[in-house]
Amino acid sequence: MKKVDPKLKEILGFNRNETDEKVLKAVKDKKRIACKPCWELKYCPYGPLVEQFPLIPPLLNEVIEHNQYLQECLDTGFLEDGRRLNKENRFLFEKELQEFDPNNYIKNLDPEIQELQCNVFGHICPVYFVAEPFTETEQERRRGRYIPFDIKMRVVRRDNYTCQICGKHLKDNEVEFDHIIPISKGGSSEEHNIRLTCFECNREKSNNVEL
């Protein structure tokens, strides 16, 4: 069993020195008694309020690997696909490397805690913090919408911070990840089914399949 990162313990409302066993037991108990409205109702009743709840930080080793890629691009002047690094990308890459703080990331992530993430927004589901013993759906949990961090990073590199629908160049806080074949229509969260879009194009596409 992986250790629970102290930073994660704090995010989940525990003391950093709390035992891993107690933290994981509490997480399992909360998940067992909690009503999961997005699984029951097929939409999130919290909506944008989900964004007021904590995010689970990316894994440190994945961020370090990504930063190594950024540094290679800066050193060589080229992206992974052979395209020349432009001024805007150079500025973004240098800024990201300068602002890197290893204390903002976690070293490991237990699957039990990973399941607390919202399927759409990525934040810890509010239900975890306000869990009440309501009904539990009999339908199997759908976990396919979650996109691992390493896949997100590869898609960002591949699509070069560019919306794949309208061609707009995106900043870090404008990047959205679109399932080309929507989850609701059988699509997966594998790299070949993910692309970058801007907010407007992603909302306009909704759950349609573009041929």
Q: What is the pLDDT of residues 172-202, one digit of tens each?
A: 888 898 888 877 666 777 888 899 999 888 8
Q: What is the pLDDT of residues 138-161, one digit of tens each?
A: 444 444 467 777 888 889 989 999
Residues contacting residue 145 through CB under 8 Å, at least 6 positions apart: 119, 120, 179, 183, 189
| Whole-angstrom Cα Rg for the chain | 19
Q: Tell me the β-bridge partners of 195.
A: 178
Is the confidence at residue 41, as pLDDT, over 70?
A: no
Q: What angle do CA 23, 112, 24 make, to 5 degrees?
A: 15
Structural domains present in the chain? 1-56+108-133 (no CATH), 58-105 (no CATH), 142-211 (1.10.30.50)
CA 83 to chain CA centroid, nearest Å? 27
Residues 83, 93: Cα–Cα separation, whole Å: 15
